[in-house]
Amino acid sequence: MTSKRSTATVATLDNGLEIILKPGHAAPVASFWIFYRVGSRNETPGLTGLSHWVEHMLFKGTARYPHGDFDRAVSRAGGMFNGMTWQDWTVYFETLPADRIALAIDVESDRMANAIFDPEETELERTVILSEREGSENNYFYRLQEDVQATAYTAHPYRHPVIGWKVDLHEITREDLYNHYRTYYTPSNAIAVATGDFDAAAMLDAITKQFGGLVSGPKPPVVRAREPEQQVERRVQLRGEDPTATYLQVFHTPAAKHPDFFPLVVLDSVLGGAKGMGLFGGSANNRSNRLYRTLVESQLAVDASSSYGPSVDPTLFSFSVTLAPATAHEAVEEAIWEMIGEVQRNGVTAAELARAIQQTKAQFAYSSESVTNQAYWLGFSEVVADLDWLDNWMARLAAVTSADVQRVAHHYLQPDRQTVGWYIPL
Amino acid sequence: MSSSQIPALNALPGPHSVARTVLDNGLVLLVRENRAAPVVTLQGSLSAGAQDEPANRAGLAAFTAAMLSRGSLHHDYSAFNEAVESVGGNLTFGADTHSTDFSLACLSEDFAGLVAVLADALRQPHFADEHVERVRQQRLVYIQERDQDTSSVASLHFHEMLYGRHHPYGRSTSGYLDTIGALTHNEVVEFHRGFYTPTSAAIVIAGDISAGAAKDLVERYFGDWRGPAPAPAAAAPRFLAVGKRDVVKMPGKVQSDLVIGAPGIARDHPDFYALRVANAILGQFGMMGRLGERVREEQGLAYYAYSGITAERAGGVWMAAAGVNPAHVEQAAASILAEFTALGSELVSPEELADSQAFLTGILPLTLETNDGVANALLGMEWYHLGLDYLQRYYDLIYSVTAEDVLRVAATYLSPERCCTVIAGPSSDGASDNSDN
């Protein structure tokens, strides 16, 4: 049974697997994704980093695709593949020449249930993940960001890094990983997304045939943790050998489905500029926004950005700054508060609202060129909200008024709701 | 496999779907129409690059390119920002060893207006003093950050070890604290005057526009541009080091980055396709080829291990890179060198060769999915004089490489006594310090 939404065809199998299909025939390629509703959000102290490590283990083989067979098969077919883990989701995808997309469906249905988790492979992957973490630790801004996050949240699992704390990565066992896999990797906790050059009915048949026989599985445990309202300002100071000073300031803000989400997206766009809709992209030209004018044009900083993204649970709105050599952190902080105060007093201009709309329109058009980007947006939208939320994105953005932006700036950007991190060169 | 067995060769951009025009001033225009989405991409290159700057002004070409978006005759700094950002467009400039590159992407309705902005920026930039100082401050901090990044430091030292800073392949195209600190406003103006020219420049337009309309636009905004004759291409580099090893100690770091490799070849060298296939086997195919398999999968030594080739107008490198715990550096380096040796001493199996050939050819539809991908491929074809039928010939070029070719190029270019090694990371490696850093 399928239904047609404006952007996609959706269906749900008897075992609970959600399916989202969006055919498009602009290029002879197709992309297939499986999103699992599991990420660092579902982890508990002592077992942080489980979701990401499980993701690595799904590249270590099944009986049908022993270690190395899967990646060789996709490469041989002229495809690309990856796995990614975030707070709210874990995802696997393959993008292939369209006539070879069946390979992706076969691989993903197989490893949803049959990954081996060989004990020896598990140990080898421990050092690989430690190496991944240590590569990030080479960067002081990464370390600052990790500590700011752990300070901003006191109770909610968004407080710990997706890759996990090093102490936990040393202790996690094969059984911990396998249990996590069996708990969350079920059809009823997953979403399959296909985009590109195929016929929707044939694609639905192929997915149903491969995934339909998998056992639904028990419902995974609900995440009950709620972050208590922050009532005191929090501060983190990190010192180190890198001579470049940086700054990170975060505020608690609501989740994707909250009515204030779209006013906050506009606030982010007005303050920090256009955001790309690609997997890893941002817009390259971003100098007319308020943050850039406040910090970079004034030569207090050489780089400044803001960020606010969709999530299942309440998240953080952030300002990141790379300071100019002679600048004190206090001066950056003062300038940001002056900028915030201006929006709180006077809202934003009609031209800024129009620009946010136009930039988003362009980003949607760019993103429509790539089946990989389209599938990513469809899948994560369904995880953090639903497809209507994505379909109505432009309309809801266009409905945001200056008064809305002024209100959310006033409500969420308050000193008592902030956590401020300074990286200070020794 | 011959090209007759490959379906849909006509689906790839080629002589039947790409319009090529040479303007009177020597600028080459390629256009590929694609009406799938209401967007247009433009990419282009001029023959003005780091090869044209003196070694003690390393970074001058990239600095000049960064200045182009900071105001020109008809669009001052804020007008440039407004024109691009109010419509959600992207318009960027950069420079590499042999080229100054520019890239524009926007909705098709905004394209004509932004081509005017692009042309003005390239032809009549202001180079205001105030902006020279701002860009200098930003780039100095960028360089300071780069010099804290272990993988960038390893790669920079590797290239410097091979070629020396006097050759453009041996130094950073972004420059250094002293070279960017020293360059003057006048040197930027003179670099633009002396090297920016339409002669031997190329522009590619792909997307929601007809070839005729694209040509009219480019004629209108670039047709009357005249410039100096392009500087001759840099001489092929002479490499300074073989079998050398260097350790760069970086306080405060946790992980080491490792680069091992050797001088490679220019893009027009007859061994290019053999190197491309051999490199795919070594450090690309599947989960990063044999290197990924041995270093990451079998020994768990690194999060990443791969190999890559660069092949430029006058030369290139073939190198492997990995990020490893300081305690594992020696084991990882030995494993990488062992794979170099194996590739140069034992013939690859027919299956392994066929796998990488299938990968290198099969991936074409993915790389050509978007207008950006198409423009990038066409620009490379024009820049290296590969011909409009290059993508149609590409299958044969890749499938003509034999197991013997792979063995020969690996033995020739990656012999262990030829390879140089650079390790950048925390000071606990146990290796000797590098005194010239």
Would you say the C-alpha torsion B281, B283, B286, B292 has a positive or negative sign? positive
ipTM associated with this complex:
0.95
Residue B429 confidence (pLDDT) above 70: no
Question: How much is the pLDDT for A139?
Answer: 97
Interior/surface letters A122-140, b for 16+ CB within 10 angstroms, e for the rest: bebbbbbbbbbbbbbbbbb
Residue B354 confidence (pLDDT) above 70: yes
Q: Which residue of B has its CA nearest to A286?
A: B85
**Bridge-based pairing state of the strands A315-323 and A301-307:** antiparallel
The reply to whether B38 touches chain A by the CB within 8 Å rule is yes
Question: How much is the pLDDT for B4?
Answer: 38
- Residues A401, A404, A410, CA angle at the centre, nearest 5°? 145
Across the range B387-413, mean pLDDT stands at 98
CA distance A86 to A51: 9
A304: chain B residues, CB-CB within 8 Å: none
Residue B3 confidence (pLDDT) above 70: no
pLDDT tens digit at each of 426 positions of chain A: 566 655 799 999 999 999 999 999 999 999 999 999 999 999 999 999 999 999 999 999 999 999 999 999 999 999 999 999 999 999 999 999 999 999 999 999 999 999 999 999 999 999 999 999 999 999 999 999 999 999 999 999 999 999 999 999 999 999 999 999 999 999 999 999 999 999 999 999 999 999 999 999 899 999 999 999 999 999 999 999 999 999 999 999 999 999 999 999 999 999 999 887 665 555 668 999 999 999 999 999 999 999 999 999 999 999 999 999 999 999 999 999 999 999 999 999 999 999 999 999 998 899 889 999 999 999 999 999 999 999 999 999 999 999 999 999 999 999 999 999 999 999
Question: How much is the pLDDT for A6?
Answer: 56
Question: How much is the pLDDT for B434?
Answer: 39
Question: How much is the pLDDT for A5?
Answer: 57
Question: The domain A2-211: what is its CATH number?
Answer: 3.30.830.10
Mean pLDDT for chain B overall: 94
Contact B303 A29 (CB under 8 A): no
A128: chain B residues, CB-CB within 8 Å: 296, 300-303
CA distance A214 to A207: 11
CA distance B233 to chain A (A): 30
Across the range B95-99, mean pLDDT stands at 97
Whether the full predicted model's pTM is greater than 0.80, yes or no, is: yes
Q: Which ranges in chain A are annotated with CATH 3.30.830.10?
A: 2-211, 234-425
CB A168 within 8 A of CB A46: yes
Residue B432 confidence (pLDDT) above 90: no
Confidence of residue B343 (pLDDT cuts 50, 70, 90): very high
Question: How much is the pLDDT for B194?
Answer: 97
> Would you call B36 helix, strand, or coil by DSSP?
coil
Q: Which of A302, A327, A359, A373 to mutate to test the interface with B (most CBs of B within 10 A)?
A: A302
Confidence of residue B185 (pLDDT cuts 50, 70, 90): very high
Question: How much is the pLDDT for B382?
Answer: 98
Question: How much is the pLDDT for B231?
Answer: 85
Contact A299 B358 (CB under 8 A): no
B290: chain A residues, CB-CB within 8 Å: none
pLDDT tens string B193-217: 999 999 999 999 999 999 999 999 9
Residue B8 confidence (pLDDT) above 90: no
> At the fourth CATH level, which superfamily is domain A234-425?
Metalloenzyme, LuxS/M16 peptidase-like (3.30.830.10)
Contact A78 B362 (CB under 8 A): yes
The reply to whether B371 touches chain A by the CB within 8 Å rule is yes
A299: chain B residues, CB-CB within 8 Å: 134, 137
Between A29, A68, A360, which is nearest B365 by CB?
A29
Question: How much is the pLDDT for B257?
Answer: 97
Residue B433 confidence (pLDDT) above 60: no
Question: How much is the pLDDT for B437?
Answer: 33
Between B91, B361, B366, which is nearest A95 by CB?
B366
Question: How much is the pLDDT for B436?
Answer: 36
CA distance A32 to chain B (A): 14
Question: How much is the pLDDT for B240?
Answer: 79
Across the range B19-27, mean pLDDT stands at 98
CA distance A358 to chain B (A): 6
Residue B373 confidence (pLDDT) above 80: yes
- For chain A, the three-class secondary structure string (H helix, E strand, C coil) is CEEECCCCEEEECCCCCEEEEEECCCCCEEEEEEEECCCHHHCCCCCCCHHHHHHHHCCCCECCCCCCHHHHHHHHCCCEEEEEECCCCEEEEEEEEHHHCHHHHHHHHHHHHCECCCHHHHHHHHHHHHHHHHHHHCCHHHHHHHHHHHHHCCCCHHHCCCCCCHHHHHHCCHHHHHHHHHHHCCHHHEEEEEEECCCHHHHHHHHHHHHCCCCCCCCCCCCCCCCCCCCCCEEEEEEECCCCCEEEEEEEECCCCCCCHHHHHHHHHHHHCCCCCCCCCCCCCCCCCHHHHHHHCCCCEEEEEEECCCCCCCEEEEEEEEECCCCCHHHHHHHHHHHHHHHHHHCCCHHHHHHHHHHHHHHHHHHCCCHHHHHHHHHHHHHHCCHHHHHCHHHHHHCCCHHHHHHHHHHHCCHHHEEEEEEEEC
Confidence of residue B2 (pLDDT cuts 50, 70, 90): very low
Question: How much is the pLDDT for A325?
Answer: 95
CA distance B409 to chain A (A): 23
Residue B102 confidence (pLDDT) above 70: yes
Question: How much is the pLDDT for B237?
Answer: 85
**Domains within chain B, CATH numbers bracketed:** 3-222 (3.30.830.10), 245-429 (3.30.830.10)
Across the range B333-359, mean pLDDT stands at 98
Question: How much is the pLDDT for B430?
Answer: 42
Between B87, B142, B370, which is nearest A369 by CB?
B370
Between A68, A76, A241, which is nearest B252 by CB?
A241
Question: How much is the pLDDT for B1?
Answer: 39
**Least reliable range by pLDDT among B189-203, B345-359, B417-431:** B417-431
Between A28, A77, A324, which is nearest B11 by CB?
A28
Residue B9 confidence (pLDDT) above 80: no
Between B36, B78, B372, which is nearest A26 by CB?
B36
A297 CB-side CA count, 13 A? 13
**Least reliable range by pLDDT among A288-302, B157-171, B422-436:** B422-436
